[in-house]
Structure 1
């Protein structure tokens, strides 16, 4: 009995021990299973987050957070399908910032990125919540306006966008302005598929740029024809320099005090093999957009300097030679190197070269403009501000620039005798030039009456058809010979 009781006691405690161990093992296994489930859940959640992030990055612009080209393509296609099914209409706006590259180049890419982010925020505030703003890349944006098709409604939206973007920006502690050009295409009138509608909105946007930028233009079939002609012209333009199709015309500048020719201005022309002589206003904007203006401008400087020296070797007095700089050329980092190279290659004295810039060019980025102009002055080159009176510079700011010459725009001279406003402005510019110690040149002089009026008001120099029209070099040299041989006076 005692032995049996002892054995039962032993089995009892063994069972208890086994139960405790089993319970501990089960508890441990339960905890391990719970941790495993938690780990599995965490891994699953991380994978889901990664997938959601990857999907977001695949369809959104990482700089602005706006829908990207791929996502917008889906949204536009879906919107057009909905409009087609329910007989609705929609409008597409294609936007491109004006002169963004100049700001990006002068202030750096960080400032350019911040500008793009702020533009995206402004665009979002300028439209409805139901509208879609997307960034295609670079400085191109698109906006989808569902169920807005009436021209007055579209125009109101476009005007609101133009006003919003043109408000001054503050970048790197400085205030800047930038504008936007907008192309408008409507579904289904201007395209019944995504590719056609986008292309036509793009065509309209380029027309807005050609119309002076900072405006909105609607697509039309005529624009399509013009766009094809533009593409053909661009293709020819890319080959024009290597085919030596460019040439310079020259127009003299006369000194009012002596009546003698004291300088020439070099004016670019394009002798197209099929279209004939093309004036700058027809191809310079195109060359500005695609960057060809830089090598073309370099050719102009070298050619003008060589021609100046050739005339001196032919026995003519040392005349000043003026060349026009485009906006992109003025901001190009190689400008100073190109001018120094042209002077050295031709042997022309630096003080005989005068570069002409416009008000809008120097007001776009004042600090850089002052720096570039001072570098030009340091090597002896003279600086003229062209077409004065047509820009937006203030007279107080004009004093900040190292200038030598101020040129009165020919549009004021044309109606000088009949328009009191033009007379007042012309006289004010002459007085301004005198007070700042600048040489004042009147462009567009066409009659003896113009000459007499400008003489009475102490204008220093004149230029225009009254003397002669711009001429190629071989004809200009004959005009020079006539002036100097006859000791012509005005």
Structure 2
């Protein structure tokens, strides 16, 4: 063998030695880093250690050299005397079956401390199958044993309380499994025993709570505050039923601040929650129709808005008002009106989607909420379905009604983002639909927004109009058709707005009625008209009666009788010179109050006229029972008299009706010679309209009165 061959063999041996040494160092490092002591010992009476890892010292308090080959102490002596026999027996049984062994016992450390260890390992056998050694790992389990001991001590301490308490009691791990439960809790959750409950419920989050997030809420609350009090949740019972519970619980910690378990009590509060739900349901539900009521509206719409924002969808808010519902209520009574509302509510329910919401806002007003729309136009077919459903005949007792409705619609977020603003937009659209003839759907628009702005300006301005003396009265003569002289004057209010100029009453009186300004304005009109009666007597020497229009709102809800009496007394005007004109339909707001007010006014001595007669309620039987002095035929029957034979026939009928009831009859809106002559020859008493005179300002009235002076003088001479 040459030198090069010998050198190669030596190099290979060196490399194998280096690799072996490197592997040994790697193995030693791995073993030394394990938590516990890796060992090999002889299967003898002393458990003589022939290898131990460095974990030996942290586990036993002895260094490996002190323990190896029983130099200073044997592992047998380290084993607690009370556990030596039991430990050897467990290992022997495992070796006899050639199985791995696993056991727990105590050892006495070098400093005298007793610790619990867990040992896992297997036997080393000779060629004959006899055990000659053991190898495995021994680890400190003192912390776990302390927890188990704490649990055992706690269980012993509270077992009597657990067993005898009427409250459900529990201990659970932080991860959500039951460690302990009493029979009361088992009964509450529908289990035969606490053991069955603990065995079955191994995931509280998913198996117990209806809302899985509640377990997270529970643990988060304890983490933040150390405990939970009156923690209410819906949970499943063993049979699938759902009940409400209230939990009070806290965390139990070890000496290092780690959570050992949660413990607490559980109470069934299903009855209380159901009762609270019933109370809440009554608070947010309309008693008559079962729909949501006005109190629930804002909350419901707010939740739909939050969902719409998340899904990037729109919501239609439809304000529905039943047309002519008041007539049904007043003629057939409130019971029939309630039946009508119940029928309408059911039809609304049947014509909506499951996601829609219906609110009875009050009276005959409903609000429909249509969520999940991609565009405002998507609401149109939904509203058409509602209109069709309501228009179908409704039977109430012996009557069949064809009800219609007016609808105003606003869209979130196109028209507004705030709830009050959305409702205001829908209300404005509803007002427009009703003014357009009813039985219509009106979508809010920029034009309506402008009108709403103008209305708000009017409302604001009305609050200052009286103080700033912007209101004034114009006077339109009412002419005695037989003699051609002035029979009376009608006072017509005007508003001289500092920016908008002269505003006619049909633009601001409805706003005044809605806002309540009508009461102050009405009293001002009465007082100004009475002052005019006195000034005309002083200036011209004649007493000319003046008629004043009275709003139904003022007539029925204000202190009209007291106001009239006070003004007449203050201005010292004879009552018969004041005529109060009220529209025919005012009686249907509250007929009882209408009757009482009329009778009280007549006792004061004023005259009563029914304005716009003929276009209101068709039942005229009330005319013979109420103290009415004058009927004012609406101008709608006078217009187009030349072309309309029907209008002529109606006028004759109305005049004859008035005459038969011994009422004075006045025709409004006379503009042509033909109309004047027709009414004169038909027996009409008084005429009013542009044919005789337009409404006159104070200055124009003075000029008109000067022109009428000869007629007044002639009448006085005839009278003498």
1:231 aligns with 2:456: yes
CA contact (8 A) 2:519 2:558 kept: no
1:258-297 Cα shifts (integer Å, max 9, x gaps):
2211211100100101101000011111111111111111
Structure 1 partner of 2:653: 428
Please give the alpha-carbon distance, in whole angstroms, between the structure 2 residues aligned to 1:239 and 1:115: 40
Structure 1 partner of 2:511: 286
1:126 aligns with 2:348: yes
1:254 aligns with 2:479: yes
Larger proportion of strand: 2
1:100-140 Cα shifts (integer Å, max 9, x gaps):
99999x9xxxx999978974763343343523212457876
- Determine helix, strand or coil for the equivalent of 2:312: helix
Aligned residues: 446
Structure 2 partner of 1:149: 378
Instruction: Give, in angstroms, the shift of residue 35 of structure 1.
Output: 9.3
Instruction: Give, in angstroms, the shift of residue 249 of structure 1.
Output: 0.4
Instruction: Give, in angstroms, the shift of residue 484 of structure 1.
Output: 2.2
Larger proportion of helix: 1
CA contact (8 A) 1:264 1:319 kept: yes
Structure 2 partner of 1:21: none
Please give the alpha-carbon distance, in whole angstroms, between the structure 2 residues aligned to 1:303 and 1:163: 51
Please give the alpha-carbon distance, in whole angstroms, between the structure 2 residues aligned to 1:377 and 1:295: 22
User: Match for 2:467 among 229, 232, 242?
Assistant: 242
Instruction: Give, in angstroms, the shift of residue 242 of structure 1.
Output: 1.5
From the superposition, tell whether residues 190 and 362 of structure 1 become closer, same or farther in structure 2 (CA, over 3 Å).
same
Structure 1 partner of 2:547: 322
User: Match for 2:605 among 380, 387, 405?
Assistant: 380
1:484 aligns with 2:709: yes
From the superposition, tell whether residues 290 and 136 of structure 1 become closer, same or farther in structure 2 (CA, over 3 Å).
same
User: Match for 1:343 among 568, 587, 611?
Assistant: 568
1:169-195 Cα shifts (integer Å, max 9, x gaps):
9xxxxxxx9997531134676567867
Please give the alpha-carbon distance, in whole angstroms, between the structure 1 residues aligned to 2:583 and 2:404: 18
CA contact (8 A) 2:671 2:690 kept: yes
Structure 2 partner of 1:394: 619
Q: How does 1:55-70 map to 2 (within 5 A)?
A: 56=281, 60=285, 66-67=291-292, 68-70=296-298
Rg larger in structure: 2
Please give the alpha-carbon distance, in whole angstroms, between the structure 1 residues aligned to 2:522 and 2:439: 25
Q: Normalization by structure 1: what TM-score?
A: 0.78
1:139-163 Cα shifts (integer Å, max 9, x gaps):
7642123568363552441464478
User: Match for 2:429 among 182, 204, 224?
Assistant: 204
- Determine helix, strand or coil for the equivalent of 2:677: helix
Q: Which moved more, 1:443-452 or 1:333-342?
A: 443-452
RMSD between aligned residues: 4.1
From the superposition, tell whether residues 362 and 58 of structure 1 become closer, same or farther in structure 2 (CA, over 3 Å).
closer
CA contact (8 A) 2:325 2:364 kept: yes
1:363 aligns with 2:578: no
Structure 2 partner of 1:3: none
Please give the alpha-carbon distance, in whole angstroms, between the structure 2 residues aligned to 1:404 and 1:245: 33
Please give the alpha-carbon distance, in whole angstroms, between the structure 1 residues aligned to 2:418 and 2:558: 43
From the superposition, tell whether residues 133 and 419 of structure 1 become closer, same or farther in structure 2 (CA, over 3 Å).
same
Structure 2 partner of 1:84: 312
1:448 aligns with 2:670: no
Q: Which moved more, 1:343-352 or 1:58-67?
A: 58-67
CA contact (8 A) 2:302 2:419 kept: no
Please give the alpha-carbon distance, in whole angstroms, between the structure 2 residues aligned to 1:194 and 1:329: 31
Please give the alpha-carbon distance, in whole angstroms, between the structure 1 residues aligned to 2:490 and 2:545: 8
From the superposition, tell whether residues 62 and 168 of structure 1 become closer, same or farther in structure 2 (CA, over 3 Å).
closer
CA contact (8 A) 2:612 2:635 kept: yes
Q: How does 1:216-227 map to 2 (within 5 A)?
A: 216-227=441-452
Instruction: Give, in angstroms, the shift of residue 364 of structure 1.
Output: 3.6
1:37-62 Cα shifts (integer Å, max 9, x gaps):
59998863344335534654675567
Please give the alpha-carbon distance, in whole angstroms, between the structure 1 residues aligned to 2:483 and 2:306: 74
Please give the alpha-carbon distance, in whole angstroms, between the structure 1 residues aligned to 2:648 and 2:679: 10
1:71 aligns with 2:304: no
Instruction: Give, in angstroms, the shift of residue 372 of structure 1.
Output: 1.6
Instruction: Give, in angstroms, the shift of residue 323 of structure 1.
Output: 0.5
Structure 1 partner of 2:121: none
Structure 2 partner of 1:267: 492
From the superposition, tell whether residues 455 and 66 of structure 1 become closer, same or farther in structure 2 (CA, over 3 Å).
same
From the superposition, tell whether residues 272 and 139 of structure 1 become closer, same or farther in structure 2 (CA, over 3 Å).
farther
CA contact (8 A) 2:390 2:403 kept: no
From the superposition, tell whether residues 449 and 188 of structure 1 become closer, same or farther in structure 2 (CA, over 3 Å).
same
CA contact (8 A) 2:167 2:266 kept: no
CA contact (8 A) 1:123 1:161 kept: no
Please give the alpha-carbon distance, in whole angstroms, between the structure 2 residues aligned to 1:376 and 1:55: 48
Structure 2 partner of 1:311: 536
Instruction: Give, in angstroms, the shift of residue 167 of structure 1.
Output: 9.2
Q: Which moved more, 1:54-63 or 1:410-419?
A: 54-63
Structure with the larger RCO, 1 or 2 (CA within 8 Å, 6+ apart): 1
Please give the alpha-carbon distance, in whole angstroms, between the structure 2 residues aligned to 1:269 and 1:251: 13
Q: Which moved more, 1:256-265 or 1:266-275?
A: 256-265
User: Match for 1:469 among 677, 694, 708?
Assistant: 694
